């Protein structure tokens, strides 16, 4: 649910009540900073859960880290979805955030190459 709130200084901002705290997100700020993830501005041809975020993986083209799967289902707590272009469309792999956090660029590249067939 989205609400509009006014601060004491008169500023107005939109608040997504589904994201009230960091406990509502799968990918924490520490992981985002460590990996250099940036919110994606690319159009993803997949439904997304309303509260899910999509990030560009900064070291590989057309590789995304998502908080929902390609069907619009929010990923379970502590997990994310590695999405990338397959032969004809986006495909991907479920990962724990810990695996993502500890993976090297080569590890992610290998996951993409090994799962490109869909």
Q: Which residue has the tokens 């090297």?
A: 104
Q: Tell me, what's the pLDDT at 5?
A: 45
What digits encode the pLDDT tens for the residues 19-57? 444 457 899 999 999 999 999 988 777 888 888 999 999
Q: Are β-strands 63-66 and 54-56 bridged in parallel, bridged antiparallel, or unpaired?
A: antiparallel
Residues of the domain holding 65 = 23-115
The arithmetic mean of pLDDT across residues 59-76, rounded, is 94
Per the CB < 8 A criterion, the answer to whether 64 and 58 are in contact is no
User: Is 81 a domain residue?
Assistant: yes
Using alpha carbons, select from 90, 82, 77 the residue that is nearest to residue 118: 90
DSSP per-residue letters across the chain: -EEEEE-TTS-EEEEEGGGSSGGG-SS-HHHHHHHT-EE--SPPSS---TT--EEE-TTSTTEEEESB-TTSPBPPTTEEEEEEE-SSSEEEEEEEHHHHHH--HHHHHHHHHHHTT-
pLDDT band at 18 (very low <50, low <70, confident <90, very high): very low
User: Is 14 a domain residue?
Assistant: no
User: Is 2 a domain residue?
Assistant: no
User: Is 1 a domain residue?
Assistant: no
What is the tally of structural domains in the chain?
1
What digits encode the pLDDT tens for the residues 50-59? 889 999 999 9
pLDDT band at 2 (very low <50, low <70, confident <90, very high): very low
User: Is 76 a domain residue?
Assistant: yes
User: Is 15 a domain residue?
Assistant: no
Q: Tell me, what's the pLDDT at 42?
A: 83
Q: Tell me, what's the pLDDT at 36?
A: 96
User: Is 8 a domain residue?
Assistant: no
User: Is 6 a domain residue?
Assistant: no
Q: Say which residue, 67 or 86, is predicted with more confidence.
A: 67
């Amino acid at each position: 649910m989205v609400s509009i709130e006014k601060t004491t200084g008169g500023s107005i901002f939109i608040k997504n009540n589904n994201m009230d705290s960091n406990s509502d997100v799968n990918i924490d700020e520490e992981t985002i900073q460590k990996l250099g993830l940036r919110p994606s501005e690319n159009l993803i041809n997949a439904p997304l859960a309303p509260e899910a975020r999509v990030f560009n993986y900064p070291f590989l083209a057309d590789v995304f880290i998502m908080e929902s799967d390609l069907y619009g289902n929010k990923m379970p707590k502590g997990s994310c979805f590695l999405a990338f272009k397959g032969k004809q469309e986006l495909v991907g792999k479920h990962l724990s955030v810990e695996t993502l956090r500890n993976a090297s660029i080569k590890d992610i590249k290998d996951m993409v190459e090994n799962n490109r067939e869909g």
